[in-house]
Chain A
C-alpha cells in the first residue's frame, strides 16, 4: 500500500529525515516511536503534504501513485488521512458543512455523485457515537472552544467520516487523560479493516496498550533504527530510549 524509500526531508535547510524507508501493507498497524526531535511528526507532515517541509530526495509510493507529486487535497482524495497533533481552530467554519464539502470534493474527484443529505446525516450520527462526540460539537465551528480531548475525538470522527485507506495519527494520545485515550483508541479499533492501514506516531507506549500494533519502529535521528513487534514498545517503556541511541550511535560511528 505505502512504500517509503530512502526519504530525506528538511525544514528551513535543516535536515530532519535522513534516509527513511518503510513499507506498510493493507490492514497493518505500524507504530512509530522515538525520542523527541527524532522526526516522527515530520514524517506525518510529509506524508500528508505539508509544504513547510521540503522533501529533498527519496520516493513515496501510495497504491501505485507518486504521493509526493500530489497536493494535500489530492492525497486526501487518494485515501490518506492525517489526525493532527494540534488540530486547528477555525472560527466561522462549521464542522458539519466543512466535512460535507470535503466528502463531496473527494466524491467528485473519484467521479461519484455527491452524498445525499439523508445519507450524510446518518453517517454523522453513526460516526459521532463512535467517539462519543456530542451532537452540539459536530455543529459548532471547527475545533473552536473544544477541549483538548474533544479536539482529538473530532479528529477521529473526521477520519471515520472520510473513510481513508491510510490513517496517520500524529501523537493523538498527547495531552489525553486515560478516559479520553480509551475513547479515542476504541474509535480507532472499530475502524480497523482489512484494507485500511494505520501509522501511529507516539512518544509513549500507553496508547499501544489499547491499539495493538503489528510493527513497532523506532525513529532516531531521521532514520528507522530498530523494528520489532508490539513487545518492542514495552521494552522502550521500561528502558527508555538511551540504549537505542547508544546502539545507533555506535553503528554510525
Chain B
C-alpha cells in the first residue's frame, strides 16, 4: 500500500466540509477564506499530548464527516425571555424572518457576511478549529456601537443548531466604540437528538471608556459538540464582562482570551457549569495583562453529576509593563457523585513585581454536616441538596447582566438535580 497517497484524517474531514460549504454559504466570505484555506493543509487535530488539550479529546469530532446545514425551521425555546431586539441564526444562517433588529441611533447590526470584515484579532498558536472557522466562516453577528452611545435595551442573540453530522461555524464581531455601552444575552441551543458540531468564533473590541457585558447560555444536545472561542481586546478605562452558563451538552469546550492592551480597565470572566450523565465541559481562559493598573476577576463554579467530567484551566499573564495589576481567579467545584471527575489548573505567569494576584481552586463533595443540619430541620435529602447547590450557583448567578435569564437557567439546574 502506498502510504503517501492515503488521505489524512484532516483531509478527509475537510473534503466532506468543503463540498457542502459552497452550496450552503454565500460568496461574500471568499475574501476571508481564500488565504486561510491554504493554512488548513498543515494543521492537525490536537491530541491529549498537547497541554492545551490534555483533558479533552477531539477524536469524536475528527472521525466524523461534517456537512454544512441549511436554514431549518426549528422552534425557539418556549421559555426564551421575550425580546424585541432579537437576532436568530440557524445552523450558521441568519434567520431574517424571526429576527427583529433594533433601530437605535448609533447601533449598526449586520449579519457577519455583509460586514466585509476580513481580519481577525485572534492571536496565539494556530489551532485547527479556529482555522476551519476562519477558512469557512458562516453568519454570526457584526455589531457596532458608535461613539458616545449607550444602548439601553439588551440584544438577544439566539444560535440554533440541528441535524445529523451538521457543522456550523458562526463568526461574530462586536465593536463598542469610545464611551459607549452594550449588553448582550446570547443563547446557543442544540436541538434535542441532533448531532451537530458548533465551531463558534466571536471577537470583541472594547474602546476607551466603553462597557460591553455579555451573558452566554449554552444548551447542548446529548450527542453534539460545542466549541466556543471568544477573543476580546480592551482599551483604556473600559469594562468587559462575560458570564458563561453551560447547562448541558455532550461535549463543550470554551476558550476565552482577553487582552488588556491599555491602562485602568476591568475584565470579568465568570462561568457556571452543571454537567450530568457523561457530559464533558472544558473552560479555558487566558487573561493577558499587558499594561499597568488593570483588574481582572474570574469566578468559575461547577457542579458535576453522574459520570461527567469537567476541566478548568485559567491562565493569567502579567507582562513586565503591567505594574499595579490586580488579578483574581477562583474555581470551585462540587463533585456530586462518586464517578464524576474534575481537573482544575490555575496558571499564573507574572513578570511585573508590583502586582496583586490570587487564585484558588477547590473541589469537594457536598458538605455532609450541612446536609445533616438541613435535614434535621425537616428538609428532604433532595431539597437539602438543591438548596446547597443553588447557593453555590448563586455566586455566579448574581453576576448575571440580564436578570431575565435567571429563570431559564434555574429551571435547567432544577431539572438536572431532580
Q: Which residue numbers of A lie inside 8 Å of B, CB to CB?
A: 48-52, 71-73, 75-77, 81-82, 84, 87-88, 90-93, 98-99, 101-103, 105-106, 109, 141-142, 158, 162
Contact = CB atoms under 8 A, between A and B. Distances in A.
A181 B24 CA distance: 77
Contact of B378 (A90, A91, A93, A103): A103
B375 A72 contact: yes
Q: Which one of B368, B369, B375, B377 has the greatest number of beta carbons of chain A within 10 Å?
A: B377
A93 B376 contact: no
Interface string B364-397: 0001111011111111110110011011101100
B379 A101 contact: yes
B375 A71 contact: yes
B360 to A, nearest CB: 15
Contacts of A109: 378
A107 to B, nearest CB: 9
A199 to B, nearest CB: 15
Contact of B391 (A48, A49, A76, A93): A93
Contacts of A72: 372, 375-376
Given A76-B378, A102-B377, A105-B380, 16 more contacts: A71-B381, A73-B379, A73-B380, A73-B384, A75-B376, A87-B373, A88-B369, A88-B372, A90-B391, A93-B388, A101-B383, A102-B374, A102-B379, A105-B379, A142-B373, A162-B378
A76 B370 CA distance: 16
Contacts of B374: 90, 93, 98, 102
Contacts of A77: 378
A130 to B, nearest CB: 18
A158 B377 contact: yes
A88 B387 CA distance: 15
A98 B387 contact: yes
A88 B370 contact: yes
A50 B379 contact: no
A211 to B, nearest CB: 21
Contacts of A105: 378-380, 383
Contact of A93 (B369, B372, B381, B387): B387
Given A90-B370, A91-B391, A93-B391, A49 B376 contact: yes
A73 B375 CA distance: 5
Contacts of B383: 101, 105
7 contacts: A71-B381, A72-B372, A73-B375, A88-B370, A90-B388, A93-B388, A141-B391
Given A93-B387, A101-B387, A88 B381 contact: no
Q: Which one of A76, A99, A109, A162 has the greatest number of beta carbons of chain B within 10 Å?
A: A76
Contacts of A106: 378
A105 B380 CA distance: 8
A73 B380 CA distance: 6
Q: Which one of B378, B387, B392, B395 has the greatest number of beta carbons of chain A within 10 Å?
A: B378
A82 B376 contact: yes
Contacts of A81: 376
Nearest to A159: B377
Contacts of A84: 373, 376
A73 B378 CA distance: 4
Contacts of B384: 73
Q: Which one of B373, B384, B392 has the greatest number of beta carbons of chain A within 10 Å?
A: B373
B170 to A, nearest CB: 36
A73 B381 contact: yes
A76 B380 CA distance: 10
A77 B380 CA distance: 10
A98 B377 contact: yes
A90 B376 contact: no
A72 B387 CA distance: 16
Interface string B130-170: 00000000000000000000000000000000000000000
Interface in B386-412: 387-388, 390-392, 394-395
A206 B388 CA distance: 37
Contact of B373 (A51, A90, A99, A141): A90
B378 A92 contact: no
Interface in B77-99: none
Contacts of B368: 52
A92 B373 contact: no
A44 B88 CA distance: 60
Contacts of B395: 92
A213 to B, nearest CB: 23
A71 B383 CA distance: 14
Interface in B39-53: none
Nearest to A92: B391
B227 to A, nearest CB: 32
Interface in B328-379: 367-370, 372-379
Given A92-B391, A93-B388, A93-B391, A102 B378 contact: yes
Q: Top 9 nearest A-B pairs by Cβ distance?
A: A92-B391, A76-B378, A72-B375, A102-B378, A88-B373, A102-B377, A73-B375, A106-B378, A93-B391
A50 B395 CA distance: 29
Contacts of B387: 93, 98, 101
Nearest to B374: A98
A98 B391 CA distance: 11
Nearest to B391: A92
